[in-house]
Structure 1
Amino acid sequence: MKLISKKQIYWNLMKILSNINFAMFILFLILFFSMIGSIVEQNQNIAYYQINYPSINTKWLILDWKFIIKFGLDHIYSSWWFLVILYVLCCSLIVCTFSVQFPSLSNARRWQFIHIYNKSQIFRRNVFIRKSFTNMIYILNNQGYYTFNKQGFIYAYKGIIGRISPIIVHISLIIVLLGSWIGLMTGFTAQEMVPRGEVVHLKNIISCGSKNMLPNNIVFRVDDFYIDYNTDNSIQQFFSRLSFLKNNGDKISYPAISVNSPLKFHNLTFYQTDWQINALRIRVNQSYTIQCKLNKMQIGKSVFWTCFLPIDKNNKTLLLLSKLNGDIYLYNSKGELVDIISINQKVYINQNCFQVVEMISSTGLQIKVDPGILFVYIGFGLLMVSTILSYISYSQIWFSIQNTSCYLSGSTNRAILFFEEELRKIQKTYLISCDRVYNNNKFLNKR
């Protein structure tokens, strides 16, 4: 009795997993939580959520920072409950593929001879039955059908590949989910803001899979960073030139990377994501060099960097710049424009000589490892192939001759109007061929 109970539980579970309504419900859950993930910013620190989602004493608003942190809405796509939902969807696809789709495909390939006496009678005439069967088989073969003859019946079908598309859809989704799981468990993401000329190794890890082996021998240097501007001074593109250091001290240089043009090195992918100007190196009176940190400020869509020259407490000179290696604007304590200078140009203030010799810039890099990305690409590629195959109609035709009557019927899963036109064409061609045979036999009988 206990064994029977386990079997019942097992088969009931299989029925639930293979049910299309259950699969649609799981897809709805994934879509719903993905929508929440696009609304609530992901992978931010607690202070960010405390500022942007403060706790408010109201019975209607429950989406505060405590609720977000408690239920993992700050990292939805890596939370345990979201992974469980994906796992259930994967199980549902596997069970549905083997319990529904494969049997359906196998059934579609069977010879389905059906008695169709009650179907539409297309003509009634005394003909040679064997010759009529030959004509119908010949006509169906010309139309691309696979035909089978058995005891006075003909069964034909074409477009069986269209019945494979649901299986390919399931397999492609399983491959995509598998690739996502591999990437989540074995991949990692790091972000670095690296000053030009600095040598660094990976240390600012944002996310990391539990089965991942972080590389500890990757050391690279930012050889150069530069920006291309449009004629209106808007940024066209910014570039970073990287080189990697071997254990023996040798350097390997690579072409510059930019936005949408990443660099691949030892399964690592380096993306250009951001940039900033950190400081100005200023030579004072040709004797020593100071470094002034720049403060970033944004007015509308324009970004500026500012700093004060350390002249004296009563006389402050503001330096303002808006582009890398561009002009530098000098303002006095009254906010009046004093001068406009460029890199290495000397300017005299209160009998002191100042010369900006360098703008210290940093490039923002994102370094990712995702071993499952190949599976994701393959899965989506198969999904596109299945979409094309789904437009192929699966059509079936039955034909029989009983006494002096012929019967023709058919079915299709899509493009019904085209199929009806094809049936009329088959009927017309068959009648013409039968009339030709009938007239030839009549002529021979007269002789």
Structure 2
Amino acid sequence: MRIFQKIAGLISDLRLAIGLLLVIAIASGVGTAIPQKESEAFYHQLYDPKPWLGVLHGDGVLAFQLDHIYSSNWFLGLLAWLALSLLLCSWKRQWPALQAALRWIDYKSPRQLSKLSVAETVPSSEPNVSLEKLENLLQSQGWQIQRQEGRFAARKGVLGRVGPMLVHAGLVVFMLGAAWGSLGGQRSEQFLAPGRTLDLLDSRGQSQLVIAVDGFSVQRDPAGRPEQFTSQLRLLKGEEGPELKQAQISVNHPLRFQGITLYQADWALAAITVQLGKSPLLQLPLQPFPQLGEQIWGLVLPTRPDGSEPVLLSLNNEAGPVDVYGPDGNLLSQLVPGGDPVEIKGLPIRVESVLPASGILLKKDPGVPLVYAGFAIALTGGALSLLATRQLWAIGEGVGAGGRLHVAGLCNRNLTAFARELPELIAQV
């Protein structure tokens, strides 16, 4: 039993809880700095040439589970340790403090009152009348009273003792929600061009929801930089099922539906429609070219029937222009979507249009209700913790010229202010 109490004391130590919070905060910062839940090849490609912080290569990042910190065994272990620490702290410290605040203490002699933090003694020719007046005054101000013969005890703000326990409980609920979301949640990012659909399947492989993108636009500033992305969506029940909802999403304005949240996360260029000479319009897929710069898309297009003499078409937004490069990397020409054809290597090439794609992030997090509930409980507890718990005792002694009224009290917050208020209370009786 002593060993258990010693272990419980160590786990519930405030310094340990603060240390755990610091470690969790640092780990969360690392999770922000390192991209999460990417493929193993991604981390090797990113960190093998240039190790993270000059120390960790791709293998190190994967070995320490830094590629999925929030669902890693060690991070969930830290959350469990902190939750246990908070629960034990509430059990060993906050619960006894609440029980003590709810327990009435009956001081019977003036000598006992004189030992309290705040104590006053004033002459009173009629101590019992003064006691009654003080009792009525305190009751009008919301104090609870327990009356005895020639004395009474009063208290106010007992709910303030519940506050720390609610804060601890809220943090535990919040951590449970975060852990549940990390283990049971789903996250996927898809690029969909207008007219395309995405079929979400349930655990049995059956169609759960179909997302159709009817329109997508990029709003740009005068310098051509993207400011906002907007998608027009339709949600369907199955491929040929009824329409469930029409909605518009944009950055910072997601859509929540049946436990799934759809975020407007990114954009891309999906395809380019070109005409080669007198050919029909050809819609060709675009692919990113990170070696040419950030957010550069393009395709290699042959200019001869046998596939020889290729050129590279590249662009960085749907409005163009489309740069045309030769095999030697020299800029041959620029094409404007919707403009006239330009002859390149003897072949007239015209760009009809460029099709942008909406980058939609789908998240399903079953722990969100617990996270919000944890926040609400913790905030409520924090607000209650601001309430000062006050206790006051009064004893009447003697009669006539030798009568005395003894008043003393305790307060767990702002004792100085309580010490100033006590003489003012006594002065009113």
What is the TM-score of this pair, normalised by structure 1? 0.79
- Asked whether the 8 Å contact 1:331–1:339 carries over to 2, the reply is no
Comparing 12-21 with 409-418, greater Cα deviation is found at 12-21
The runs of 5 or more residues in structure 1 that have no matched partner are 1-6, 204-211, 431-447
C-alpha deviations, 1:138-181, integer Å up to 9, x for none?
A: 22223332222224332211111211111110121121122123
Query: Residue 358 of structure 1 is aligned with which of 353, 356, 366?
Result: 353
Matches within 5 A, 1:35-184: 35-54=29-48, 62-114=55-107, 115-117=109-111, 118=114, 120-125=119-124, 127-184=125-182
Give how far 1:328 is off.
4.2
Which residue in 2 is equivalent to 1:266? 258
The one-letter amino acid of 2:214's match is D
Which residue in 2 is equivalent to 1:397? 392
**Pairs aligned (count):** 413
- Asked whether the 8 Å contact 2:266–2:358 carries over to 1, the reply is yes
- Asked whether the 8 Å contact 2:321–2:336 carries over to 1, the reply is yes
C-alpha deviations, 1:366-421, integer Å up to 9, x for none?
A: 11111110111111122222222222211122222333222222221223343222
C-alpha deviations, 1:256-313, integer Å up to 9, x for none?
A: 2211222233322221111111332211233334455546467999854455653369
CA distance in 2, matches of 1:111, 1:257: 58
CA distance in 2, matches of 1:165, 1:101: 9
Q: Does 1:249 align with 2:240?
A: yes
- Asked whether the 8 Å contact 2:188–2:363 carries over to 1, the reply is yes
Q: Does 1:277 align with 2:269?
A: yes
Q: 1:53 to 1:291 in 2, by over 3 A?
A: same
- Asked whether the 8 Å contact 1:169–1:383 carries over to 2, the reply is yes
The one-letter amino acid of 1:387's match is G
The one-letter amino acid of 1:362's match is A
C-alpha deviations, 1:37-70, integer Å up to 9, x for none?
A: 334443333334334444999xx97544433322
Partner SS, residue 371 of structure 1: coil
CA distance in 2, matches of 1:329, 1:25: 55
Comparing 99-108 with 313-322, greater Cα deviation is found at 313-322
The one-letter amino acid of 2:404's match is S
Q: 1:329 to 1:78 in 2, by over 3 A?
A: closer
Partner SS, residue 247 of structure 2: coil
- Asked whether the 8 Å contact 2:313–2:324 carries over to 1, the reply is yes
- Asked whether the 8 Å contact 2:337–2:352 carries over to 1, the reply is no
Which residue in 1 is equivalent to 2:225? 234
Which residue in 2 is equivalent to 1:415? 414
Q: 1:68 to 1:331 in 2, by over 3 A?
A: closer
CA distance in 2, matches of 1:411, 1:153: 17
Q: 1:40 to 1:311 in 2, by over 3 A?
A: closer
Q: 1:31 to 1:287 in 2, by over 3 A?
A: closer
Q: 1:301 to 1:67 in 2, by over 3 A?
A: closer
- Asked whether the 8 Å contact 1:55–1:65 carries over to 2, the reply is no
Give how far 1:342 is off.
3.1
Matches within 5 A, 1:201-350: 201-202=199-200, 213=203, 216-217=206-207, 218-247=209-238, 249-250=240-241, 252=243, 254-292=246-284, 294=286, 296=288, 303-307=295-299, 310-311=302-303, 319-328=313-322, 338=333, 341-343=336-338, 345-349=340-344
Q: 1:295 to 1:249 in 2, by over 3 A?
A: closer
Partner SS, residue 88 of structure 1: helix
Comparing 329-338 with 42-51, greater Cα deviation is found at 329-338
Give how far 1:195 is off.
3.2
The one-letter amino acid of 1:240's match is S
- Asked whether the 8 Å contact 1:157–1:397 carries over to 2, the reply is yes
Partner SS, residue 135 of structure 2: helix
What is the TM-score of this pair, normalised by structure 2? 0.82
Comparing 294-303 with 64-73, greater Cα deviation is found at 294-303
CA distance in 2, matches of 1:36, 1:229: 32
CA distance in 2, matches of 1:146, 1:316: 90
C-alpha deviations, 1:168-201, integer Å up to 9, x for none?
A: 1012112112212322332211222233322333
- Asked whether the 8 Å contact 1:122–1:427 carries over to 2, the reply is no
CA distance in 2, matches of 1:30, 1:316: 53
Cα RMSD for the two superposed structures: 3.5
CA distance in 2, matches of 1:338, 1:28: 56
CA distance in 1, matches of 2:251, 2:120: 68
Give how far 1:343 is off.
1.9
Partner SS, residue 287 of structure 1: coil
Q: 1:241 to 1:140 in 2, by over 3 A?
A: same
Q: 1:329 to 1:29 in 2, by over 3 A?
A: closer
